[in-house]
Amino acid sequence: MKKNLKKVLSGLLKVSFIILITSSYSGCNKQPQIQRLEIYYLHFMTSTMLPVDSCFKIFHYNHQDTLIVNSKVLKNLNSIIGNLEPAQNNFHHDFRIACLLIMENGDSNQLCLNTMGGIRYNKTNMKDSEELFYFFNNLLYNDSLSKHFWNKPK
Protein backbone atom coordinates (compact mmCIF):
# COMPACT_ATOMS: atom_id res chain seq x y z
CA MET A 1 0.00 0.00 0.00
CA LYS A 2 2.89 2.40 0.78
CA LYS A 3 4.41 1.66 -2.64
CA ASN A 4 1.14 2.54 -4.39
CA LEU A 5 0.78 5.73 -2.37
CA LYS A 6 4.36 6.73 -3.20
CA LYS A 7 3.74 6.07 -6.91
CA VAL A 8 0.53 8.15 -6.89
CA LEU A 9 2.17 11.02 -5.00
CA SER A 10 5.20 10.88 -7.26
CA GLY A 11 2.96 10.98 -10.34
CA LEU A 12 0.94 13.90 -8.95
CA LEU A 13 4.14 15.76 -8.15
CA LYS A 14 5.44 15.27 -11.72
CA VAL A 15 2.15 16.42 -13.27
CA SER A 16 1.99 19.45 -10.97
CA PHE A 17 5.56 20.33 -11.84
CA ILE A 18 4.87 20.11 -15.59
CA ILE A 19 1.74 22.29 -15.25
CA LEU A 20 3.69 24.84 -13.20
CA ILE A 21 6.52 25.00 -15.73
CA THR A 22 4.26 25.35 -18.79
CA SER A 23 2.02 27.97 -17.19
CA SER A 24 5.05 29.98 -16.00
CA TYR A 25 6.67 29.80 -19.41
CA SER A 26 3.60 30.97 -21.32
CA GLY A 27 2.96 33.76 -18.77
CA CYS A 28 6.52 35.12 -18.97
CA ASN A 29 6.52 35.14 -22.73
CA LYS A 30 3.45 37.34 -23.15
CA GLN A 31 3.72 41.05 -22.43
CA PRO A 32 0.55 42.96 -21.58
CA GLN A 33 -0.86 44.72 -24.64
CA ILE A 34 -1.72 48.42 -24.84
CA GLN A 35 -5.45 48.95 -24.47
CA ARG A 36 -5.57 52.75 -24.65
CA LEU A 37 -3.07 55.49 -25.48
CA GLU A 38 -3.38 59.03 -24.14
CA ILE A 39 -1.06 61.49 -25.86
CA TYR A 40 -0.24 65.02 -24.70
CA TYR A 41 2.02 66.99 -26.97
CA LEU A 42 3.44 70.32 -27.96
CA HIS A 43 4.29 71.21 -31.52
CA PHE A 44 7.97 70.42 -31.92
CA MET A 45 8.80 74.07 -32.69
CA THR A 46 7.17 75.35 -29.47
CA SER A 47 9.63 77.35 -27.44
CA THR A 48 9.75 76.94 -23.64
CA MET A 49 11.68 78.89 -21.01
CA LEU A 50 13.31 75.72 -19.67
CA PRO A 51 13.83 72.31 -21.30
CA VAL A 52 10.93 69.94 -20.70
CA ASP A 53 12.92 67.19 -18.96
CA SER A 54 9.93 65.30 -17.55
CA CYS A 55 6.94 63.72 -19.29
CA PHE A 56 4.42 65.52 -17.18
CA LYS A 57 5.90 69.01 -17.47
CA ILE A 58 4.20 69.02 -20.87
CA PHE A 59 0.89 69.42 -19.03
CA HIS A 60 1.98 72.88 -17.76
CA TYR A 61 2.14 74.20 -21.29
CA ASN A 62 -0.65 74.80 -23.77
CA HIS A 63 -0.94 71.24 -25.03
CA GLN A 64 -2.98 69.26 -27.45
CA ASP A 65 -4.20 65.85 -26.52
CA THR A 66 -5.30 62.75 -28.36
CA LEU A 67 -6.87 59.47 -27.27
CA ILE A 68 -6.13 56.39 -29.38
CA VAL A 69 -8.11 53.18 -28.98
CA ASN A 70 -7.77 51.77 -32.51
CA SER A 71 -6.48 48.21 -32.01
CA LYS A 72 -4.42 48.17 -35.22
CA VAL A 73 -2.58 51.37 -34.25
CA LEU A 74 -2.04 50.12 -30.68
CA LYS A 75 -0.77 46.74 -31.87
CA ASN A 76 1.76 48.52 -34.10
CA LEU A 77 2.90 50.74 -31.20
CA ASN A 78 3.17 47.74 -28.87
CA SER A 79 5.44 46.02 -31.37
CA ILE A 80 7.68 49.10 -31.71
CA ILE A 81 7.93 49.57 -27.93
CA GLY A 82 8.81 45.90 -27.53
CA ASN A 83 11.95 46.56 -29.59
CA LEU A 84 13.21 49.53 -27.54
CA GLU A 85 16.57 49.09 -25.84
CA PRO A 86 17.95 50.97 -22.82
CA ALA A 87 20.54 53.64 -23.57
CA GLN A 88 23.92 53.41 -21.87
CA ASN A 89 24.37 57.14 -21.39
CA ASN A 90 22.32 59.93 -19.86
CA PHE A 91 21.54 62.68 -22.36
CA HIS A 92 19.74 66.00 -22.52
CA HIS A 93 15.99 65.88 -23.10
CA ASP A 94 13.54 68.50 -24.22
CA PHE A 95 10.38 66.44 -24.56
CA ARG A 96 7.46 67.38 -26.78
CA ILE A 97 5.34 64.24 -26.53
CA ALA A 98 4.15 62.58 -23.32
CA CYS A 99 2.11 59.38 -23.52
CA LEU A 100 0.24 57.39 -20.96
CA LEU A 101 -0.11 53.81 -22.12
CA ILE A 102 -2.94 51.98 -20.36
CA MET A 103 -2.26 48.26 -20.51
CA GLU A 104 -4.82 45.45 -20.66
CA ASN A 105 -3.85 44.32 -17.14
CA GLY A 106 -4.67 47.79 -15.73
CA ASP A 107 -1.08 49.00 -15.38
CA SER A 108 0.02 52.25 -16.96
CA ASN A 109 3.35 53.08 -18.59
CA GLN A 110 4.92 56.43 -19.54
CA LEU A 111 6.54 57.21 -22.85
CA CYS A 112 8.20 60.57 -23.64
CA LEU A 113 9.79 61.71 -26.89
CA ASN A 114 11.94 64.62 -27.90
CA THR A 115 11.42 65.49 -31.54
CA MET A 116 15.16 65.77 -32.19
CA GLY A 117 15.96 62.40 -30.60
CA GLY A 118 15.54 61.15 -27.08
CA ILE A 119 13.12 58.59 -25.66
CA ARG A 120 12.23 57.84 -22.06
CA TYR A 121 10.09 54.79 -21.28
CA ASN A 122 9.00 54.31 -17.68
CA LYS A 123 11.74 56.68 -16.44
CA THR A 124 14.45 54.80 -18.37
CA ASN A 125 16.37 56.49 -21.18
CA MET A 126 16.11 54.42 -24.34
CA LYS A 127 18.06 54.31 -27.59
CA ASP A 128 16.43 56.32 -30.36
CA SER A 129 14.02 54.47 -32.61
CA GLU A 130 13.35 55.78 -36.10
CA GLU A 131 10.23 53.61 -36.20
CA LEU A 132 8.84 55.21 -33.05
CA PHE A 133 9.56 58.76 -34.26
CA TYR A 134 7.97 57.99 -37.62
CA PHE A 135 4.93 56.45 -35.89
CA PHE A 136 4.27 59.62 -33.87
CA ASN A 137 5.11 61.92 -36.76
CA ASN A 138 2.38 60.35 -38.87
CA LEU A 139 -0.04 60.21 -35.97
CA LEU A 140 0.33 63.78 -34.68
CA TYR A 141 2.15 66.09 -37.07
CA ASN A 142 1.02 66.67 -40.60
CA ASP A 143 2.92 69.78 -41.69
CA SER A 144 5.81 69.54 -44.12
CA LEU A 145 8.41 70.90 -41.67
CA SER A 146 7.69 68.12 -39.17
CA LYS A 147 7.94 65.52 -41.91
CA HIS A 148 11.42 66.83 -42.69
CA PHE A 149 12.69 65.88 -39.21
CA TRP A 150 10.98 62.52 -38.80
CA ASN A 151 11.36 60.69 -42.09
CA LYS A 152 10.34 57.13 -42.77
CA PRO A 153 12.83 54.65 -41.24
CA LYS A 154 15.24 52.93 -43.58
Q: What is the reported pLDDT for 12? A: 47
Q: What angle do CA 26, 100, 137 make, to 5 degrees?
A: 100
Residues of the chain with pLDDT under 50: 8-9, 12-13, 15-17, 20-29, 148
Instruction: State pLDDT tens for residues 89-117.
Output: 777 778 888 898 999 999 999 999 887 78
Cβ distance 35 to 102 under 8 Å?
yes
- Spell out the domain ranges in the chain: 1-30, 34-149
Return phi, psi of residue 150, to 5°: -110, 80
Q: What is the reported pLDDT for 109? A: 93
